[in-house]
Amino acid sequence: MAETRTPRRKLVWRIGEVVETRPEAPHAKSIILEVPGWEGHKAGQHVDVRLTAEDGYQAQRSYSIASAPEDGRLALVVERLEDGEVSPYLTDELRVGDKLELRGPIGGWFTWEARDGGPLLLVAGGSGIAPLMAMIRHRAAARSEAPTRLLYSSRSREDTIYVEECDRLAAEDAALEVIHTLTRSQPPGWTGYSRRIDREMLDAVAPSPQERPLAFVCGPTPLVETVATVLVELGHDPARVKTERFGPTGG
Amino acid sequence: MDENRLDGNSAGGLLGEIFAFEMTTAQVTCASCGTHSRIGQAMVYGHGMGTIVRCARCDNALIRIAHPSGRYWLDLRGVRYLQVEEA
């Protein structure tokens, strides 16, 4: 054998320590972790989180990483599901200093690196913002000038995760546009979109297919399927429309 | 619309338990319709019995994985080729 390549490190369960938790919306929290031995990630990747009960019962869920690769800490966004097995523990019980079992980073398909360039079209529904926020943060940290539009659907302004950071980054950067749609309630004087993402909205917001944007769509399955279908109908290359579905419940 | 449908990405952890490489970028050729796609582009359905990765174009079951009592069962009949990139 002339050359031996080392395969990717085996995916192992690691222990992360919670260093901060922060409410982002009435039902969503950021969990910031330090993970000894973590070897970095790409924007868009996820981790699997595993909880083990005293009787040995285990439950496992996937959470997208919201922090930039340039950030040494790992940020996850957890949306609390009423009947969830994992999310109520993560949002209600987990405290700074607690340990959390996780493995990753996982995924090489739904990822973006600054060198991939743009234009970028990011479409988020609810906590589907997490992997797209990693891309936006990475884009800012890497000083990428890739023209980027984020179309972000939330129930209300209060439910909009990372709203201040999104709007601040957009205000500082002419090549980054953030377009909100608030589907359930709007603040007084709201002039933006106030309906679910549809064909007309995507036609107005998305760069033209001739610009060959790279699209990343993340959110509840129905939203993702609508957006991906419409983008292809509008003439976008299906190979440049990447999707990450959460399933029916959104997290 | 089947709302339990997930993307190939969601099987990345499970496939990573079995294979030494990042599998969401591995290319599969569907044995039924011949479409080439990345596993990240395929559809994933989780069931009590295991996980099924289906072709996004024709819905053929590409990969079935069951993991009862410490043993992985892989049914790859739906895949004509599986191309895995090093590193």
pLDDT of the residue at B47: 79
Please name the residue of chain A whose CA is at the shortest distance from the CA of residue B10: A62
Please name the residue of chain A whose CA is at the shortest distance from the CA of residue B1: A222
pLDDT value at A5 more than 70:
no
How does pLDDT run across A16-75, given as a tens digit for each residue?
999 999 999 999 999 999 999 898 999 999 999 999 988 988 888 899 999 999 999 999
How does pLDDT run across A66-123, given as a tens digit for each residue?
999 999 999 999 999 888 889 999 999 999 999 999 999 999 999 999 999 989 999 9
pLDDT value at A151 more than 60:
yes
Split at pLDDT 50, 70, 90, the class of A251 is: very low
Q: Mutate which of A61, A116, A245, A246 to test chain B, going by most B C-beta atoms within 10 A?
A: A245
Of A8, A62, A109, the CB nearest to B21: A8
Query: CA A126, A78, A118, A170 torsion: positive or negative?
Result: positive
pLDDT of the residue at B5: 83
Q: Do the Cβ atoms of B13 and A104 come within 8 Å?
A: yes
Mean pLDDT of chain A: 92
Split at pLDDT 50, 70, 90, the class of A236 is: very high
Partners of A247 on chain B (C-beta within 8 Å) are 3-6
pLDDT of the residue at A1: 47
Phi, psi at residue B39, to the nearest 5°?
A: -60, -30
CB burial string A33-43: b at 16+ within 10 A, e below: bebeebeebbb
Mean pLDDT over residues B28-34, rounded?
A: 97
pLDDT of the residue at A217: 98
Q: Do the Cβ atoms of B38 and A109 come within 8 Å?
A: yes
Cis peptide before A26 (omega within 30 of 0): no
Please name the residue of chain A whose CA is at the shortest distance from the CA of residue B37: A239
How does pLDDT run across A207-230, given as a tens digit for each residue?
999 999 999 999 999 999 999 999
The closest of A228, A20, A30 to A134, measured between CA atoms, is A30
Split at pLDDT 50, 70, 90, the class of A250 is: very low
pLDDT of the residue at A4: 52
The answer to whether residue B51 neighbours chain A at the CB level (below 8 Å) is: no
Q: How far apart are CA A36 and CA A145, in angstroms?
A: 32
| DSSP summary character for residue A114 | G
| DSSP string covering B15-47 | HHHH-SS--TT-EEEETTT--EEEGGGSEEEEE
Partners of A243 on chain B (C-beta within 8 Å) are 7
pLDDT of the residue at A82: 85
pLDDT value at B60 more than 80:
yes
Please name the residue of chain B whose CA is at the shortest distance from the CA of residue A245: B6
Tell me the CA distances in angstroms from A201 to A165, A205, A207, A227, one per residue in order. 23, 6, 12, 10
Burial bucket for residue A166 (CB in 10 Å: 0-12, 13-18, 19+): buried
Split at pLDDT 50, 70, 90, the class of A249 is: very low
pLDDT value at B21 more than 60:
yes
Mean pLDDT of chain B: 91
Partners of A7 on chain B (C-beta within 8 Å) are 20-21, 86-87
Burial bucket for residue A192 (CB in 10 Å: 0-12, 13-18, 19+): exposed
Query: Nearest-CA distance from B77 to chain A in Å?
Result: 23
Query: Nearest-CA distance from B42 to chain A in Å?
Result: 10
